[in-house]
Structure 1
Amino acid sequence: MSETPIDLEALRHRIDDLDSELLRLINERAAAAQQVAQVKTAEDPRAVFYRPEREAQVLRRIMALNKGPLDSEEVARLFREIMSACLALEQPIKVAYLGPEGTFTQQATLKHFGESAVSLPMAAIDEVFREVEAGAVNYGVVPVENSTEGVINHTLDSFMDSGLRICGEVVLRIHHHLLVGETTRQDKVSRIYSHPQSFAQCRKWLDAHYPQAERVPVSSNAEAARLVKTEWHSAAIAGDMSAKLYGLTRLAEKIEDRPDNSTRFLIIGNQDVPMSGEDKTSIVVAMRNQPGALHDLLEPFHRHQIDMTRLETRPSRSGVWNYVFFIDFKGHRDEPRVAAVLEEVRLRAAEVKVLGSYPVGVL
């Protein structure tokens, strides 16, 4: 133990002084953000205030500068909320997401845009696309793949008919809990509600703990939580937001079969995103139906040493047994070697559509 006694009162005064300084600096930052808005509006009345590449650069810089004791991701989350509040002073941002309220997609929306964004739930993925295309909202958030269950085909199919671009990505760790209402007893659960993907992600746990319970698939985990709020002898598989929203009790926590279970979400919008320094590009390619087509598609990526992170196939809507390829790879379309690869692919393919170049998810 130290020979010098800790002066608790002095430490409290020190914290008070630091809080006052933090408050002054946060408001000073907010005032600077308002000045940025004034300059942008003077130059262009239709100026875009939210810049995905700029926010990614700021968060990466903060994480690199952080020396603790707070974890770098925790510091980045704090700055995300400060940036969200400052952006709301410039122009409130509207974001549509796959609802209803309390879903993991809403959680991903708040993680990416912060609590000051205006988030609006939509009943289906194609509705999110339509809201953004119509200009009713600035951005949309949709799930695209889960580490356990794979790709969400509805999202990929929506891109085939849309002119929207991908502006960002969010990766969310998915933790499922078994939730019940106030009147349900643990030993009396005979019915469990959840989304089909959540049932699949918790299959082994359910087989071990509730093998006789009826499993009822519903449209979302939030809907499952809403149903069990007033039902006896039923439970829901859902996340933290649903539990809080409907005031449910956790019978069991983190019941997913794989501890690394995560879902990737895409941010969709109407504008192209400049380079941030650490980017990813997504494209969809239709190849001619001929021998060696897949090799011809992939060869330029190998030769130019472009790191491909995902390759998915979907049936083409233009012909029977024809397929299109969805490809994610590291790099921005404006980088010379990426541009060279895209040009080669265009020469070999029947059609190439760049869905967007965007910052790699920071949080």
Structure 2
Amino acid sequence: MSASIALQKDVSIAYLGPPGTFSHQAVYQRFGDSVVYVPQKQITDVFEAVEKGRATYGIVPYENSTFGSVVETLDYLIKANVKVRSETYLTVHQCLLSNSPLDKINKVYSHPQGLGQTQEWLSAHLPEARRISVKSTAQAAEQASQEIGAAAICSEICSELYGLDIVARDIEHGVANTTRFLIIGTSSDAPTGNDHTLLRFTVDHRQPGALCDGLKIFKDHGLNLFKIDSRPSGLRPWHYVFFLECSGHANSEKVQLAVKDLNQYCLDVAILGSFPNERTDGDC
């Protein structure tokens, strides 16, 4: 996708801002100075910027290797009118930033993912500090810079951007803490021969084995499954929307036949996009 963007003019990409977030780092790592970056206040705004034509593409965090799926992204994908067209990965190192010493910190701001990725360190070193969720890690840094006794969990680059001291580095739990991002647009790219497809569907919860029957279709068509998520639909209690990522491109015969068969067991089946597989063999 980076190569195709280089051929386009006036390309803008919406991301979860303000500057200094991991979304900002991920998109800059992928596209460099070839595009215009448009910061958004929250993840839902990134989707809306693409849907309403205020940005050519958007980048949203999808899952973290330590703390799992990003629920804000999944929740908007329930109703999103966009297509996934690419993915990218960023190794994430969390820092504790503050203008107060460690023993004077009584509150910690971060995005829920930041708090989740560092919960072991926080329990060991700041067990009494309040943990306060905000819309982004950079917003956390901005907030902490204005308060005595406040700290932020965010990237090291926020230290320079928001005038904070680095109290502790690499406080995330787990080796090679990595966040996966999806790049969204109004359409997906053509097949590459090594692609993944993201699907969304619901099932009739009163029908025994409906989900099992639906999943078996992918095995029958020789398609591998890489990720399955569920989120409340919001329509009624205990009704869920499922997200499934499989091998293959939506334009391939295998995926098209699988989707056709899936409609026999599942409801509201939708293809959310196909994209080149960026995982290494060791990640699969």
Map Cα deviations across residues 297-324 of structure 1 (whole Å, 9 max, x no partner). 0111112221100111223344543322
Which residue number in structure 2 is paired with residue 215 of structure 1? 131
* The structure with more strand, counted as a fraction of residues: 2
Match of 2:151 in 1: 235
Residue of 153, 156, 160 corresponding to 2:71: 153
Q: Summarize deviations over 1:63-107 as a string: whole Å, max 9, x none.
A: xxxxxxxxxxxxxxxxxxxx97xx28x513101112222111111
Q: Is the 2:20–2:138 contact (alpha carbons within 8 Å) kept by the matching residues of 1?
A: yes
What's the TM-score once normalised by structure 2's chain length? 0.89
TM-score w.r.t. the length of structure 1 is 0.70
Query: What residue ranges of structure 2 are gaps of 5+ in the alignment?
Result: none
More divergent stretch after superposition (167-176 vs 229-238): 229-238
Matched, 1:281 2:202: no
**Are 2:42 and 2:136, in contact at CA under 8 Å, matched by a contact in 1?**
no
| Structure ranking higher on relative contact order (CA contacts 8 Å, 6+ apart) | 2
Partner of 1:257: 173
Q: Is the 8 A contact 1:107 1:241 kept in 2?
A: no
CA 1:313/1:338 → structure 2, altered by over 3 Å: closer, same or farther?
same
Alignment match, 2:223: 306
The offset of 1:123, in angstroms, is 1.4
For residues 37-65 of structure 1, the C-alpha deviation after alignment (integer angstroms, 9 at most, x for no partner) is xxxxxxxxxxxxxxx2x73xxxxxxxxxx
Judged with a 3 Å threshold, the aligned counterparts in structure 2 of structure 1 residues 272 and 204 are, in CA distance, closer, same or farther, namely: closer
Computing the radius of gyration from Cα coordinates, the structure with the larger value is 1
Q: 1:174 — aligned with what?
A: 92
Relative to structure 1, is the Cα distance of residues 211 and 350 closer, same or farther in structure 2, using a 3 angstrom cutoff? closer
- CA RMSD across the alignment: 2.3
Q: How far does the alpha carbon of each residue in 1:311-350 deviate from its partner, in whole angstroms, 9 at most, with x for none?
A: 1122334454332211001211122222221221123322
Unaligned runs of 5+ in 1: 1-51, 56-82
Equivalence for 2:111: 195
Matched, 1:165 2:111: no
Matched, 1:128 2:71: no
Amino acid at match of 2:23: T
Which one-letter code corresponds to 1:303 in the other structure? D
Alpha-carbon separation, structure 1, partners of 2:233 and 2:146: 45
Establish whether residue 98 from structure 1 lines up as the match of residue 16 from structure 2: yes
Match of 1:66 in 2: none
Q: For residue 275 of structure 2, what is the aligned residue in structure 1?
A: 358
Aligned residue-pair number:
279
Identical pairs, percent: 38
Deviations 1:175-228 (A, max 9, x none): 1011123xx334433333222332222122122222333433333221221123
Give 1 or 2: higher helix fraction.
1
